[in-house]
Amino acid sequence: MAGTREHLSRPRIVELALDIIDTKGLPALNMRRLAASAGVKPMSLYHHYPNKEAILGAVAESIAAAALGDPHAFGPWQERTRLLFVGLYELVQAHPRALPLITTGVLRTPSGRRWMEELMDVLLEAGFTPDAAARVYHLLGAFTLGLGYAQLLSLEVPAETIVGELTGHWADYPNLLRVGLQLAIWDQPADFATGLDVLLARFAEELDGAG
């Protein structure tokens, strides 16, 4: 190990990359900007990660690790499942602009896989068949991540832009006019819990019916 001059390291790169993603968006993360933010030239990054994809993977893992709050919550399976998805949702809240990384990371990072492993543990133990467990994940996951995409969209395309594109057309869209900005903005985390519970209750019924 050579100089310890306070410089680059894998965790440092990930930290800076995540900061760029959070503040400027995923497309704004490029090797030159990342290097500059580290006070280094672009090619130096390649001594720590083989390519950009590897850096994105490391960011995904770093984010996903935060979803593993308490490894094992107690209570009935509904509650444990609920907590797992609340964790996922909090991830999205914390780093909405990194959502595409979270999406792929669920099955492709160690922490993501551990999250999924625990979910499957809960569901199989509750009595779901493997296929049913996969369905639960897909539906709840789609709902959770779908809300994340709504949030991301309202971040990247501000409501004013949408409204601006509509000026002069309001006559064609009287009901859009009545509903207004709320359509282009998603910021009702409470509704996430509602939807999650409704879907969970449905799966509980299914399980009882079959068991």
Which residues are near a copy of itself by CB under 8 A?
103-104, 107-108, 113-114, 116-117, 120-121, 124, 130-131, 133-135, 137-139, 141-147, 149-150, 153, 157, 162, 165-166, 169, 172-176, 178-180, 182-184, 186, 188, 191, 194-195, 198-199, 202
Per-residue binder mask for DNA (CB under 7 A), 27-66, x = binder: --xxxxx-x----xxxxx-xxx-xxxx-------------
Q: What span, in angstroms and rounded, lies between the C-alpha atoms of 118 and 84?
A: 8
Longest dimension (CA), the chain: 69
Amino acid residing at 117: E
Which of the choices a copy of itself, DNA, none does residue 51 contact, using the CB cut-off of 5 to 8 A by kind? DNA
The DSSP secondary structure of 30-85, one letter per residue, reads -HHHHHHHTTS-GGGGGGT-SSHHHHHHHHHHHHHHTT-SSS---S-HHHHHHHHH
Residue number with CB closer to a copy of itself (36 or 153): 153
Provide CB contacts within 8 A for 185, sequence distance 6+: 154, 159
Enter the DSSP assignment of 28: G
Least Å distance between CB 186 and a copy of itself? 5
Least Å distance between CB 86 and DNA? 33
Residue number with CB closer to a copy of itself (49 or 148): 148
Q: What span, in angstroms and rounded, lies between the C-alpha atoms of 208 and 211?
A: 5
Chain residues that interact with DNA, rule: CB under 7 A? 1-5, 7-8, 29-33, 35, 40-44, 46-48, 50-53
